Amino acid sequence: MINRRLVLMMAGVFVACGVLPAGAAVKVTPVANLSILGGQYWMSESVPSSFGGNADLFFSPVLNFSPNIALLPIYSGSYRGTKSVRDLVGGGTLTQESQDHGISLKLVNKMKGNMKLKASAGYKLEYLKETKEEAWGQGLFDYTRMGFGVELEKHWKKTNGRAGMDYYTMNYPHYQSLVTEGQFETSMDTTTYSEISAQAGTNVLNYTGMALFLEYARQMSPKVMGVIRYDVSMKNFVDQKTVQHSGAFSSELRRDLSHALSMGVNLTTPRVVLSFSDAVQFYDSNQNTFDTAKPQFIANNYDYFQNGIAPAITFKLGSVDEPVKLSLLWDISWRMYTERLAQDAETDYKSDKISQLINTMGMSITYPLASALSAKLALNYSDSSSNMRYEKNYKYNYYTFNYFLGINWEL
C-alpha cells in the first residue's frame, strides 16, 4: 500500500515549489491491474515443477489537481512462484522464487507548446530465493533500489520527442554477510570465492547509477508508427575493487557503462497489431578477473556486444468491443563477450571468447469474461546455447518451458 505520509510529504514539496496549486479541488481516478496465473515450469532434462503461480498488481489513485496537473501515487508488485534464469551479476543465475514491491510518486505537468514535464521518485525492494529452503528476506541477491527521475516530452503534429534522466542507488544488504558462508561459494562472480571473501571489499555489489535516454517517434502513416531510442547508463560501484594482472586488488573501483540503441516499427489496425524491434547494446566495464586455480587473468571480463530482434503480433478476434486477443512473440538475441574466455566442462580455457544465443517464443490468449475481467492462457519456451561448457557458477546452456492459466482484472 502507498504510504500516506510519503504521499502528503511529496505533495507538500510540489506545492511549496509552486508546481501543485495549493487548495485546488482534487479529482481522484483509481487505476488498477491485477493478474493471477497458475501453471508449471520445466527446465532442461528436469521433471516438471510442482504447480506454482505468478501474480502481478498495479494500483494508482491518480490525483488530478487541474486539467494540466496530476500526481500519481503508484504501487506495483509481483510474485514468481516458479524457477527462472536471471542475469544478476554477470551471468545466468537460477532462482526458485522471487517477489518485488515498489512505491513511487509521479508528477505530470502539461505545459504550453504541447510540452509535458514528468518527475518521479520511488523505492523498490526485491527478494530472490535460490533454494526452496531459503527464508524470504535473507537471499544473497536481495536488493533495494531508491531513486528519482525527470522527463520532458514534446509533441508535434506527427512526431513525439522524449528525453529523461534517472539517478538511483542499488543496495544488496545480505551479500557481504553471506559471502563467506560455504553454501554460497558457487555464487561468486568477480574473482574466485577465496579472493572475494578475503580482499574484495565490504559491499561489493552496491552501486550508484545514472541512466539517460532520448526517444523520437514519428507517425509515418495513420497506421504505422516508427520509434528510435538511445539509452546510456553508468554504474559506479562503491566498494568493489578492480583486479590486477597479478591477481591482487587495486585501489581503483569498478565502473560500468552501457550504450543501447533500439529501433522499432508498429502497425496498428482494428484487427491486428504488429510490431518489430531491433536493439543493439554495448556493455563496458573496467573490472577484470583472475582464476587462481589455473591461473588465468581476463581483462574487462564483463564487456559484451549484444543484438536482439523481437517481432510480435496480436490478433483481435470476434467482437469489436470485447475481442478475444491472440498474441504471438519471438525474441532472439545474440551476445558476444569481447574478452571473457570460454571453458570446457573440465574448466580448461579455450582461445575462443564466450558467445551465447538466447531464443524465446511465446503465445497468449486473452478471453473477455466481463467488462473488466478476462481469462488468460500463456505458453512460453526459451533456450540458450553457448560455447561455454563450465556452468558451476552460471547457466549458459539450457531450455525452459512453462504454461500459465488465470485471470486478469483491470480498473
- Is the distance from CB of 175 to CB of 204 less than 8 angstroms? yes
The grid coordinates listed for 238 are 562503491
Helix, strand, or coil (residue 194): helix
| CB of 91 closer than 8 Å to CB of 189 | yes
C-alpha 101: how far from chain center: 14
> Mapping DSSP to helix (H, G, I), strand (E, B) and coil, where does residue 188 land?
coil
* DSSP bridge partners of 76: 58, 102
Q: Could you tell me the residue ranges of all domains in the chain? A: 303-411
Answer whether 80's CB lies under 8 Å from 62's CB. Answer: no
The pLDDT score that the predictor gives to residue 134 is: 82
ω into 295 cis (within 30 of 0): yes
117, β-bridge pairs: 109, 152
Query: Which residues have a Cβ under 8 Å from the Cβ of 331 and sit 6 or more positions away?
Result: 308, 309, 310, 358, 359, 360, 361
Q: What angle do CA 302, 332, 161 make, to 5 degrees?
A: 80
**The residue to which cell 514534446 is assigned:** 154
Angle, CA of 213, 254 and 333, to the nearest 5°: 50
| Predicted pLDDT at 8 | 52
Q: Locate the DSSP E strands across 244-285.
A: 249-268, 272-285
pLDDT means per 10 residues in the chain (411 residues)? 47 50 76 93 70 90 92 95 72 78 96 92 92 83 94 94 97 69 45 48 88 97 96 94 87 95 96 97 93 86 96 94 94 95 91 95 95 93 93 84 92 85
* Grid coordinates belonging to 42: 520445466
Helix (H) or strand (E) holding 360: strand 349-368
Per-residue pLDDT, 104: 96
pLDDT of residue 45: 64
Least Cα distance to 283 among 341, 358, 228, 338 occurs for 338
Specify the 3-state DSSP secondary structure of 25.
coil
Q: Reduced to 3 states, what is the DSSP secondary structure of residue 390?
A: coil
* Strand-pair partners of 29: 62
Residue 243 CB burial class (10 angstroms; 0-12, 13-18, ≥19)? buried
- The predicted pLDDT at position 44 comes to 74
**Long-range contacts of range 317-326, CB-CB < 8 Å, 24 or more positions apart?**
317/271, 319/368, 320/270, 322/368, 322/371, 323/368, 324/365, 324/366, 324/367, 324/368, 325/364, 325/365, 325/366, 326/363, 326/364, 326/365
| pTM for the predicted model, two decimal places | 0.84
pLDDT of residue 23: 59
Classified as helix, coil or strand, 185 is helix
Q: Is the Cβ–Cβ distance between 84 and 395 less than 8 Å?
A: no
* 243, three cell numbers: 583486479
